[in-house]
Structure 1
Amino acid sequence: MPLEHIQDVLSISRSQAYALVRTGDLRAIRVGGRGQWRIELTQLEAYIQRAYDTTAAEIATEQTTD
């Protein structure tokens, strides 16, 4: 999937999507002469699952400190 599709799926800006790729949070490859970014669906799904896991852990931590 092109980076633009990721923006739509996650409802984020282009710069936010690019930052996810640059930091390695979302694995991607560059293809073609213009260096277009592409992300496999499995990588997007894995990123989303990690985000859910992180959120659940944060909520659990907040609940134990309240």
Structure 2
Amino acid sequence: MPSRFMQMQEVADELSVSMSQVYHMVRSGELPAIKIGGRGQWRIERAKLEDYIAQKYAETADWVKENPLVGREDDIDPPS
């Protein structure tokens, strides 16, 4: 069973992004996290990360609908 909380490096690895990108997402409030311990280490709850990913899929789907790819021949008749 995976642990409930993930370290920032684990989240960075999971999303294939840099640690600084995860830090920015956390500090901006885009990705919910908690700060724990005497040194204030950040932890991201696995369920919150999954919610974040689902939200990004929905946002991307909306963006794709609003910004269709046009002007390419294969867009009109996609390969089967």
Length-normalised TM-score, structure 2: 0.77
Counterpart residue number, 2:11: 6
What CA deviation, in whole Å up to 9, does each residue of 1:8-52 have, x standing for no partner? 000111110000001111000001111110011110001000100
Q: Does 1:30 align with 2:35?
A: yes
Q: Distance in 2 between matches of 1:4 and 1:61?
A: 34
Task: For residue 62 of structure 1, report the CA deviation from its aligned partner.
Answer: 1.1
Determine what percentage of the aligned residue pairs are the same residue: 47
Structure 1, unmatched stretches of 5+, are none
Which secondary structure does the structure 1 equivalent of 2:67 belong to? helix
Aligned length: 65
Higher percent of residues as helix: 1
Q: Distance in 1 between matches of 2:42 and 2:36?
A: 6
Higher percent of residues as strand: 2
Q: Which has the larger radius of gyration?
A: 2
Counterpart residue number, 1:44: 49
Counterpart residue number, 1:59: 64
RMSD: 1.3
Structure 2, unmatched stretches of 5+, are 1-5, 71-80
